Structures are given as structure tokens and as C-alpha cells.
């Protein structure tokens, strides 16, 4: 249903009531086999809701896998992670029934454009709206524990969550994440992460982020940004020698056309730093030797000194314990 006065699109009451009851029946069937036809009907209905709530695409992939299993084996039992997806979908149905702002579903100018980057040693990003830049060096003992695609994905989400934390956006706020990593760009739109192995951390990170976006009634979109033109973010992620003040001076001197006025690099809040540290540690890969740092040559210029001693990371670290709820 579309409310043209309030500019809302919503799931009608009869469908909301019936579909929520169907999910409850699935949750009560834990450990019992589910028929193919029943599962197909449920996934089709959730797909219908995802058309107005694009964040739901993150949590349809595993349910579609259950449909494939049910087709092959004439029925299937839902896994614990698939059950968790259904629990989330109950919350999604409530939001869809309450109403989705039509401004979140149409082509529009974003309220804030974020650019991020990551390497094996550092994550960084900056906002084109607020001029706020950040970088976070991965502690030496945590390097090599996550693949670069995960770090790029994490950098995108840290950039969004930092802006949410500092902007306190109103409902209907729209973020655009620009990244030079195609995997991270795609994962911001939808994901089909499995619930075990290396992708378990991806799944948990996606759930954390989407829950925050939905709680704020906001939207996050993504766009690919060519790496060869991403000088600012690339320098932020790979320069571990210059201080925040020095790197700010270098960027303002060499790339004035790529950054907004009053561009400044400053440390992450402790809450975001601990969140980042938690996800870097979670479900680690076998330890690998950290990759050798590489950097693009900085164009000639006299902005900033390169003679300072190695910057000491101020990133707090913590054991991998779940972050506290916002």
C-alpha cells in the first residue's frame, strides 16, 4: 500500500499478520522437516517484502539454499542460522508494515558520500560532507588474519557506522559508500554468506550493520570507485609513518580538488575502534605473514614532512568478545 500523503509504502495488515504467523510456524518446527512447497511459498513472500526493503536481500540467500536442499531431498530441516534469518525477518515485517519512506527507494542525491580503502595493515575513510577523515592501523598481532576483501568490507561499514554515530541522522538519511573493491561494493547491496568457515564473520558483520541501518530508518548504497583515482584513501591506508597532522597537510597540499574544505584526519572514537578490533579478530584464518606494504608514488610537492618517526598506533585492542548493543 502507498500513502501519498506521508510518502510511505507498507505491507498491508492482512499480509503482515498471515506472514508473521507463517514464520512463527517455521520457528516452532525446529528439528522437523519442512516441505518444498511450504518453503518456496515463504521465500517468495519474503522476496516480495525485499522489493521495498533492499536490506532484506542480505538474509534471503541461505533460505534459498534451503529451498534447493528441499527440492533435492524432498524436504529439509532448517539450520540454526536459517532460523536466525527468519527471526530477523519477523523484525523486517514489522518495519515493512509500519511503512518505508519512499525517498529511500528512489534515485536521489545522497546526504553523505563516504570513501574508504583498506590494505593488510590499515583501514581508512573520509566523508565528502563533513570533511572528517579517519584511519585505523591493524595491530601487528592481528595482521594476516583476514582476507583483503573482508577488510575492504569492514572499512565500508566502519565509515557508515562512524557517520551514523557522529551525525545522528534523521529518518530517511541516505549514505553512498564509494569503494575501489568490487566485492565490498556488492556485499553492501546484498550477500549470500554461509554461516560457517571464513564467511561467518562476514555474516555477523552484515547483520550488525543492517540492524543499525534499519533502526535508524536510513539507507546505505554503494558505488565502485576506480582505484587508480583513489589517491586520498590510498594514501590514508598505506602511510603508517606520518602523523594525523602531517597526513592532513600532505593531502590538502597535493589533492585539494579531491577533498572538501577543512579536510582533517582525526582518530576514531574508542567505541568504533573496539568494534573494528572485534571483527578483525573474529573467526580468524590460519596465521599468515603480513603482506609487504606497497604504496602509490606521491606526486611531487612540499606539503608535510616525511622525516618523523614511525607513528604509534592509538587503536585500542580487545579480546574477541561481542560488542555492546548501540
Q: What is the pLDDT of residues 16-51, one digit of tens each?
A: 999 999 999 989 877 789 999 999 999 999 999 999
Q: Which tens digit of pLDDT belongs to each residue from 237-268?
A: 888 889 999 999 999 998 888 888 889 999 99
Residues 88 and 122 in one domain: no
Is residue 288 included in any domain, yes or no? no
Q: For residues 4 and 107, give the distance between their C-alpha atoms in angstroms, rounded to a whole number.
A: 18
In the numeric block, which cell numbers belong to residue 100? 518505508
Same-domain check for residues 185 and 64: no
pLDDT at 309 over 80: no
What is the pLDDT averaged over residues 55-82?
Answer: 88
Domain end among 104, 123, 157 = 104
**In whole angstroms, how far apart are CA 70 and each of 39, 58, 63, 298?**
8, 21, 11, 56
Q: Note the pLDDT of residue 318.
A: 38
**Is the C-alpha dihedral spanning 208, 178, 57, 66 positive or negative?**
negative
Per the structure block, which three cell numbers stand in for 185? Answer: 561494493
Which pLDDT band, with edges at 50, 70 and 90, does 303 fall under?
very low
Task: Please check whether residue 275 lies inside any domain of the structure.
Answer: yes
* 118 lies in the same domain as 66: no
CA angle at residue 276 from 140 to 213, to 5 degrees?
Answer: 165
Whether residue 81 is found in the same domain as residue 214: no
Per the model's pLDDT, the better-predicted residue between 54 and 159 turns out to be 159
Q: Are both 98 and 134 inside the same structural domain? A: no
Cell numbers representing residue 79 in the block: 539450520
Over the stretch 212-234, which tens digit does the pLDDT of each residue have?
887 787 888 888 877 677 788 88
Within this chain, do residues 59 and 162 fall inside the same structural domain, yes or no?
no
Residue in the block written with cell 528439528: 31
What share of the chain has pLDDT > 70, as a percent?
A: 83
Query: Domain residues for 212?
Result: 112-281
Most confidently modeled range among 50-54, 184-188, 285-289: 50-54
Question: 313 pLDDT exceeds 70?
Answer: no
Q: Are residues 121 and 38 in the same domain?
A: no
Q: Quick one: 130 and 62 in the same domain?
A: no
Q: Is residue 95 part of a domain?
A: yes
| Statement: residue 199 has pLDDT above 80 | no
Q: What is the mean pLDDT of the chain?
A: 81
What whole-number distance in Å separates Cα of residue 134 and Cα of residue 116?
Answer: 9
Rounded Cα distance, 174 and 293, in Å: 34
Reported as a pLDDT band with limits 50, 70 and 90, residue 202 is: confident
pLDDT at 96 over 90: yes
Contacts of 235 (CB under 8 A, 6+ apart): 247, 250, 251, 295, 296, 298
- Report the number of distinct structural domains present in the chain: 2
Q: Domain check: are 240 and 143 in the same one?
A: yes
User: Which pLDDT value is given to residue 193?
Assistant: 64
* Residue 321 within any structural domain of the chain: no
Which pLDDT belongs to residue 296? 52
Q: What are phi and psi of 178, to 5 degrees?
A: -105, 125
- Looking at the fold, whether 74 and 124 belong to one and the same domain comes out as no
Note whether 241 and 202 are same-domain residues.
Answer: yes
**Domain end among 281, 298, 319:** 281
- Do 95 and 125 belong together in one domain? no
Amino acid at each position: 500500500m502507498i500513502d501519498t500523503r506521508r510518502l510511505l509504502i507498507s505491507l498491508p495488515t492482512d499480509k503482515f499478520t498471515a506472514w508473521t504467523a507463517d514464520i512463527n510456524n517455521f520457528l516452532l518446527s525446529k528439528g522437523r522437516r519442512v516441505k518444498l512447497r511450504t518453503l518456496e511459498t515463504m521465500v517468495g513472500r519474503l522476496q516480495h517484502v525485499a522489493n521495498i526493503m533492499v536490506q532484506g536481500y542480505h538474509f534471503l540467500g541461505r533460505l534459498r539454499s534451503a529451498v534447493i536442499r528441499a527440492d533435492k531431498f524432498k524436504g529439509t530441516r532448517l539450520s540454526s542460522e536459517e532460523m536466525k534469518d527468519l527471526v530477523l525477518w519477523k523484525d523486517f515485517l514489522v518495519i515493512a508494515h509500519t511503512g518505508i519512506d519512499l525517498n529511500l527507494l528512489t534515485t536521489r542525491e545522497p546526504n553523505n558520500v563516504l570513501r574508504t580503502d583498506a590494505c593488510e595493515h590499515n583501514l581508512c575513510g573520509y566523508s565528502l560532507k563533513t570533511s572528517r577523515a579517519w584511519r585505523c592501523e591493524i595491530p601487528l598481532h592481528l595482521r594476516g588474519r583476514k582476507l583483503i576483501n573482508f577488510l575492504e568490507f569492514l572499512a565500508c561499514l566502519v565509515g557508515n557506522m562512524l557517520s551514523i554515530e557522529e551525525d545522528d541522522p534523521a529518518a530517511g538519511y541516505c549514505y553512498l559508500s564509494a569503494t575501489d573493491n568490487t566485492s565490498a561494493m556488492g556485499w553492501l547491496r546484498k550477500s549470500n554468506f554461509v554461516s560457517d568457515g571464513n564467511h561467518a564473520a562476514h555474516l555477523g558483520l552484515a547483520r550488525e550493520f543492517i540492524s543499525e541501518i534499519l533502526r535508524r530508518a536510513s539507507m546505505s548504497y554503494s558505488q565502485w570507485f576506480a582505484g587508480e583515482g583513489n589517491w586520498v584513501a590510498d594514501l590514508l591506508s598505506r602511510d603508517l609513518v606520518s602523523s594525523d597532522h602531517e597526513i592532513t597537510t600532505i593531502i590538502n597540499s597535493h589533492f585539494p580538488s579531491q577533498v572538501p574544505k577543512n579536510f582533517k584526519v582525526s582518530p576514531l572514537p574508542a567505541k568504533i575502534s573496539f568494534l573494528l578490533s572485534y571483527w578483525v579478530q573474529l573467526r580468524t584464518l590460519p596465521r599468515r605473514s603480513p603482506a609487504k606494504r606497497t604504496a602509490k608514488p606521491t606526486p611531487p610537492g612540499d606539503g608535510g614532512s616525511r622525516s618523523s618517526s614511525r607513528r604509534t598506533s592509538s587503536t585500542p585492542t580487545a579480546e574477541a568478545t561481542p560488542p555492546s548493543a548501540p
